[in-house]
Amino acid sequence: MKVLITSPCSASVIIQHGIKRWPIWECKPKKFKWNYDVEEVCLIIEGQATITTPKGEIYIIKAGDLVEFPAGLYCEWEITKSIKKHYRLRS
């Protein structure tokens, strides 16, 4: 299971998918484990985080990135700079 990152996300993609109308999630620096029950697509508005999978894959996401997390992914988030993102869940 791979995390897909488009960096930077183009303005045309943001407009095409209506990303600025998606809900916003914010979090201050911390570390936590997360399991994705459904697919999530998000646009990082501010901040930075490191995502690590049990297989040792490391993804660094930052402002401007469009990130796709697959359903079934288990990972650890380490938010290194307060993060703010638009997100959409797909079941």
User: Which residues, 6 or more positions from 69, have their beta carbon under 8 angstroms from its beta carbon?
Assistant: 3, 36, 39, 40, 41, 42, 75
Walk me through the domains of the chain, giving residue ranges and CATH numbers.
4-90 (2.60.120.10)
User: Along the chain (91 residues), what's the average pLDDT of each consecutive run of 10 residues?
Assistant: 94 96 98 97 98 96 98 98 97 77
Q: What is the pLDDT of residue 1?
A: 80
